[in-house]
Chains A and B, each alone.
Chain A
Amino acid sequence: MQHALVLLRRRLISSIPVLLIVVVGTFFLLEAAPGDAVDAYLAGIGGGDAAMVEQLRQSYGLDQSIWARLWTYLLSLLRLDLGWSVAFDRPILQLIGERLPNTLLLMGSATALSFSLGSLLGILAGARPGSFTDRALSIGSLALYAVPSFWLGLVLSVVFAVQLRWLPTSGIETIASGKAGLDRALDIARHLVLPVGALGFIYLALFIRTMRAGMAEVWRQDFALAARAKGLSRPRIVFRHVARNALLPLVTLLGLQSATMLGGSVVIESIFAIPGFGRLAQEAVAGRDAPLLMGIIVVSALLVIVVNLLVDIAYGLLDPRVGTSEQAA
């Protein structure tokens, strides 16, 4: 536990400059856009006179220099204030706080699906490297990896929601159903089956391939040979000795994939009309809402930092060797 705390502190400190680069970089990128938030707002309401434009610019602080605005933005970030959304006319933090849980639920379920099924199939493939099962799974996972997630989502929704009518086509829950407790949870689960499937299946391939490659590596190690020489049964060697040691790289993959999955949720949420974080990003782009887009990028960077931190801590707990080397360093 001591190790975890040391690691936590070190990682938090080292992530501050990185986050600062993200904030400043995104600020200047969005600054390069033609027109500002007031232009977008005026286009939305159908124009206004010069005095009103002037007053609006002042109230948003847009009459100040770019450096002054960057400084103000950084200061308000420290107060956990992400600013005001032009398109929604609401505080950005509140908007993100509303949308984030849906996305976390979607991503968490998709990760759980791809991790569990992926490691299982990876064990199946890696149990006998070079066997027919191994080759079939390897080609199959490659094909799966080549499928665009949004297209898989469309195909799944045509088959299971439109043709078979087994599952709902869109949304996170039945609107105004008055359901509560377990009923509501089941309702949400039914709505999430297709999007989680579409998102999870894409990343399934990566877990299968990593698990399989890890097992092929472990088979060559001395202790695997020793286990075979002792005359242990094949399933025991596969599960207790080989698979267990090949599982760790998959944990690393969890952290690496969190950013990709967050990006992937944009299209999936737009296809299944899930009011989540990713869809908010698309709405920010459509509404030319630069402050909202800025807030979304900052929060997603924070989220990725946190996920990677959790993965590192989990890694240290799973593999005692990591903690010792950290301390020696």
Chain B
Amino acid sequence: MSFFARLLHSPEGLVGLLLLLLLAAAALLAPVLFPTDPLSIVAAPLTAPFTNGSVPLGTDRLGRNVLAALVHGARASLLVGLAAAAVAILVGALVGTLAGFSGGFIDEALMRVVDAFQIVPGFLLALAFVSVIGASLPTVVLAIALGAWTGPARLARAEVLSLRERDFVAAARVIGMHPLEIALREVLPNALPPVLALTAVIAAGAVLTESALSFLGLGDPNIVTWGSMIAEGRNVLRTAPFLSLAPGLALVITVLGIYLFAEGLSDALARRRIRQ
């Protein structure tokens, strides 16, 4: 049975994969499905959902198309989630590898920096960072990654500590490779797989953090995000709760999709390891 078949065999993996494919399709096709700016006014304000064919999910307080905003919001959420996870893993793996491979003072110093980032609540750090640098999509990605790179760093360091005494590292030393080259070209690639396994958890957390930031009004003001939709809908929570409920459900589905997919993936990996 191929790896992919094993992934599809577990119900979690299958459902997660389907959810993620659906979201990715929505995110990629958003400009095709709804070419007009989702922030533009298209119909009477507060049109109830399922009443007007041209705006299937109704409109918000300003008369903006809810369905278009939801689909465009998927773009922002997935983009931030993936980018933040990529930055966090890249930085974490680099720092962890350098710390573990150098040992001594460099290791000690780098790990104290990791400790420092771990004792500051990630959300507070993101809040401070965005408020200082200004709210834009890249800033939000960096702000979230700032609070998420310590996990990968610790894991990479632990991996490197067990790898650096292996024969292939000694061999690389013997042929006269520069220590930095050994660390980055020989050790890092071997330490990477378990670190990459953290991607899903970090991406899921990043999606949630981004939504909380934009809910508080600290997201990029020029694009639609699910968090800002919830904040906007909150003003009419009593009369039109749907406006806050819909983007919230979209968030739950996205994060659940990522978790289920990760669960299925780790199940499939574990089963492969047992067979070997």
Contacts and interface: CB of A to CB of B under 8 A. Distances in A.
Interface of A: 17-19, 21-22, 25-26, 29-30, 32-33, 139, 142-143, 145-151, 154-155, 158, 162, 259-260, 262-264, 266-267, 270, 281-282, 285, 288, 293, 296-297, 300-301, 304-305, 308
State the main secondary structure of chain A at its contact with B: helix
B244 A154 contact: yes
Contacts of A267: 123, 212, 215-216
A300 B124 contact: yes
B32 interface: no
9 contacts: A18-B119, A19-B116, A26-B120, A29-B132, A139-B12, A267-B215, A285-B131, A285-B218, A301-B119
Given A155-B248, A162-B238, A266-B127, A18 B204 contact: no
B112 interface: yes
Contacts of B253: 146
B245 interface: yes
A18 B129 CA distance: 19
B255 interface: yes
Nearest to A258: B121
Interface string B230-243: 10001001100100
B269 interface: no
A132 to B, nearest CB: 14
B211 interface: yes
B260 interface: yes
Contact of B120 (A145, A151, A158, A300): A300
Contacts of B124: 262-263, 266, 281, 296-297, 300
Interface string B68-93: 00000000000000000000000000
Contacts of A282: 127, 216
Contact of B115 (A18, A33, A142, A150): A18
Interface residues of B, number: 44
With most chain A CB atoms within 10 A of its CB, the pick from B120, B133, B241, B251 is B120
Contact of A151 (B131, B230, B259): B230
Contacts of A264: 123
B94 interface: no
Nearest to B15: A139
A147 B241 CA distance: 17
A308 B253 CA distance: 33
Given A22-B116, A155-B245, A158-B237, A145 B212 contact: no
A74 to B, nearest CB: 15
Interface in B96-119: 112-113, 115-116, 118-119
B118 A259 contact: yes
Contacts of A155: 245, 248
Nearest to A143: B256
A29 to B, nearest CB: 6
A47 B71 CA distance: 44
A150 B112 CA distance: 32
Contacts of B119: 18-19, 22, 259, 301, 304-305, 308
A94 to B, nearest CB: 20
Nearest to B126: A263
Given A155-B245, A259-B119, A301-B120, A21 B127 contact: no
B121 A263 contact: yes
A297 B241 CA distance: 35
B121 A259 contact: yes
Contact of B128 (A30, A139, A142): A30
Contacts of A259: 118-122
A21 B112 CA distance: 8
B248 A33 contact: no
Contact of A260 (B121, B132, B218, B256): B121
B8 interface: no
A269 B227 CA distance: 17
B226 to A, nearest CB: 9
